[in-house]
Chain A
Amino acid sequence: MISCKSYQLKDGKPVSNTEKTVENLYFSSKEDYVYKCQMDVYKNHISGILIIKKISETMHRVVMTSDFGNKMIDFEISENDFKLNYVLADLDKKMVINFLKNDFQELLRQKFPVKESFENDDSKIYLSKFDKKQYYLFFDKENGLLNQIIYTQNNKEKIDFTFEAKKTTFAEVINLQHKDFKINIKLNQITENE
């Protein structure tokens, strides 16, 4: 069973706020973001290529194709909007689309107003809140890069995002793990983003 206990930050010492807002800049550039994508949805394994592109100040275009190149899903997404351009008949299920919409809305969220700040040995940690949603953002102390976001709702851990990056605007490896459902998305960069 997957646990549903309340999320509590371990070994983080409260510190005074130094930042008003922190940002996830991993999708903030207008370049193409292209990843090899492996999704595990319960027992189904879905493979393909995922393309994310910022098309306006608030909007991203997200397209997933199979490894052979044919399009599986194509949508435009912002914090408040969602427009489905195309979905392959086999994937056209409300549950699937809602999951993708929700996951990508969280992954692409850029600005996080800081409510509280913490520190541990490795990271500076910022807590951000929107209504029932809470986010813990972990920034590596050494290189200053965002390496994890823990997204909670009503204090329950919902999604754990991890990032491996060498610069602020581009993550080479991204993992998205649901804590309440057996859904995992793994992204590996396949084209240089310069």
Chain B
Amino acid sequence: MIKNIAFGAFLLISGFVFAQNTAMTRAEAKAFVTKISSETKEIKTLQSDFAQTKKMDFLDKSIVTYGRMSLKSPNTLSWKYTKPYQYSIIFKENKIFINDQGKKSSVDAKSKTFEKINKLIVGSSNGKMFSDPEFSVVYLKNSSSNIAKFTPKSAQLLKYIKQIELHFPKNQSTVSQVNMTEASGDTTNIVFKNTKINAPIPASEFSL
């Protein structure tokens, strides 16, 4: 009996939490996409610190890594992990440069996985992702954020990823949080902090 009450209470609470996100109306979604797309057109550079949290059902603790992201329009991107280890990846002039704890390498940007990562990060910062034909999008809102939920259309892409959620705080045109769910149900969550728009970025940030 107590179990049932506890379970009922749990359902109620979780239902309440989930109920906070409500679907946008068609007009709201359109206004949101228009606003983000026009505002992000003005973005020439973007810098942000991030914390990445990986959750897997069999682990006791989440795995958290930290780093810094820098973006220069149209498609130069630096993604650097700084804690608890050093790993940098830079997308520049159709090449990918990697520094893995001192071990440097470069590859042509042909790899499908890297291409998708680049597209995802750059696309979510410039609003182009909303019109990506590979995904269907659902728009949600809560009291503090607008949320775009992307689901891959192709079975091919679904093998890698089940869903991507982008959170935009209501007073901000850039993403504050990305939640990715893999086909297995494992999640990766990236939270961006100290975001700077159009501040100059030293060239050294885009070299290893």
- Chain A binder among B41-49, B100-108, B126-134: B100-108
Contact B59 A68 (CB under 8 A): no
Taken residue by residue from 62 to 91, chain A's Cβ proximity to chain B (1 for < 8 Å, 0 otherwise) reads as 010111111100100000000001101110
Please tell me which one of the listed residues A36, A74, A86, A191 contacts residue B101 in the complex, with CB atoms under 8 A apart.
A36
Q: How far is the CB of A189 from chain B (nearest CB, A)?
A: 9
Instruction: Identify whether the interface residues of A are mostly helix, strand, loop, or mixed.
Output: strand
Once A67-B81, A74-B184, A190-B85 are accepted as A-B contacts, the answer to whether A53 and B113 lie under 8 Å apart by CB is no
**A162 interface residue per 8 A CB criterion:** no
Once A36-B85, A89-B159 are accepted as A-B contacts, the answer to whether A45 and B100 lie under 8 Å apart by CB is yes
Closest to B63 in A: A34
Complex CA distance for A40 and B10, rounded to whole angstroms: 48
Once A36-B85, A38-B101, A191-B84 are accepted as A-B contacts, the answer to whether A69 and B180 lie under 8 Å apart by CB is yes
Once A67-B81, A68-B188 are accepted as A-B contacts, the answer to whether A47 and B180 lie under 8 Å apart by CB is no
Interface size for B (C-beta < 8 A) is: 29
Taken residue by residue from 45 to 56, chain A's Cβ proximity to chain B (1 for < 8 Å, 0 otherwise) reads as 101010101010
**A32 interface residue per 8 A CB criterion:** yes
Size category, A interface? 20 to 34
Please indicate which of the listed interface residues B113, B161, B180 has the most CB atoms of chain A within 10 Å of its own CB: B113
Complex CA distance for A188 and B102, rounded to whole angstroms: 14
Complex CA distance for A90 and B111, rounded to whole angstroms: 10
Taken residue by residue from 110 to 127, chain B's Cβ proximity to chain A (1 for < 8 Å, 0 otherwise) reads as 000100010000000000
Q: How far is the CB of B168 from chain A (nearest CB, A)?
A: 21
Closest to A90 in B: B113
Contact B54 A38 (CB under 8 A): no
The 18 listed contacts between A and B (C-beta, < 8 Å) are: A31-B60, A32-B60, A36-B84, A36-B87, A45-B105, A47-B87, A51-B63, A67-B81, A69-B52, A69-B54, A70-B180, A71-B184, A86-B184, A88-B160, A188-B85, A188-B101, A190-B85, A191-B63
